[in-house]
Amino acid sequence: MRYVIFDLETQNIFQDVGSSDPAALDISVGTFYDSETKVYTTVTVDELSTVWPILEKADALVGYNSNHFDIPLLNKYYPGDLTHIKSIDILEEIRKSLGRRLRLDSVAEATVGAKKSGHGLQAVRWWREGKIDEIKKYCEQDVKITKKVFDYALEHGHVKFKDGSRKREIPLDISTWGIKEESAMTHSLLF
């Protein structure tokens, strides 16, 4: 299976646009990891079209809160329909198992000993201050952390989180994660 693990940062927040629809926001930076080439590609909004070939070769898109945030937002820019690609949303799987949502930071720290270097609001502030390199580093680190959590979940069938002072396991149904699905992908490129 060819996975593309990705994350997006935005130029604005929901309060700025008066909507809770992710597609109302604007992308600042995105990072995309291709499991086949093992390459991280980080682009600004103006360079997004360079990642369409990467996404179109994916058997699955992997993210953290990607079904409810990243995919609808990215789909606003994509000339096809990304919802036709199989999606693995780690947060959604955690919520199904645990009954609630957890921050990536708390799952990553308990599962693989990794911590995020910042947060989304900080990335918006950096955009407004023109600190594009800071956003790129932050976004790429988020994808590296998401990849570690995803790889761990694939191998062990669970992730962990801290519940008070002790770590707890969250079993995940990974049974379909490695199964290719036929998609009716509307490609933006000629093959």
Report residue 164 as tokens: 């008070």
Q: What is the CATH number of the domain that holds 42?
A: 3.30.420.10
In a domain, 176, yes or no: no
Task: Tell me the C-alpha to C-alpha distance, in Å, between residue 125 and each of 12, 16, 90, 134, 135.
Answer: 9, 13, 27, 10, 9
pLDDT digits (tens, 9 = 90+) for 13-65: 999 999 999 999 999 999 999 999 999 999 999 999 999 999 999 999 999 99
In a domain, 137, yes or no: yes
The reported pLDDT for the residue numbered 173 is: 95
In a domain, 177, yes or no: no
The reported pLDDT for the residue numbered 163 is: 81
Asked if pLDDT for residue 115 goes beyond 70, the answer is yes
In a domain, 130, yes or no: yes
> Is 0.75 topped by the overall pTM?
yes
pLDDT digits (tens, 9 = 90+) for 120-173: 788 999 999 999 999 999 999 999 999 999 999 999 999 999 888 889 999 999
In a domain, 185, yes or no: no
pLDDT band at 117 (very low <50, low <70, confident <90, very high): low
Domain with 150, as residue range(s), is: 3-171
The reported pLDDT for the residue numbered 191 is: 43
Asked if pLDDT for residue 188 goes beyond 70, the answer is no
Identify which of 103-107, 113-117, 120-124, 129-133 has the greatest average pLDDT. Answer: 129-133
The reported pLDDT for the residue numbered 182 is: 74
The reported pLDDT for the residue numbered 181 is: 82
| Strand bridging mode 3-10 / 60-63 | parallel
Per the structure, how many domains does the chain have?
A: 1
Angle at which helices 132-156 and 104-112 cross, to 10°: 50
Helix (H, G, I), strand (E, B) or coil at 78: coil
In a domain, 191, yes or no: no
The reported pLDDT for the residue numbered 190 is: 47
In a domain, 189, yes or no: no
In a domain, 190, yes or no: no
User: Which residue in this structure is represented by tokens 């930076």?
Assistant: 29
Report residue 25 as tokens: 């926001």
The reported pLDDT for the residue numbered 127 is: 95
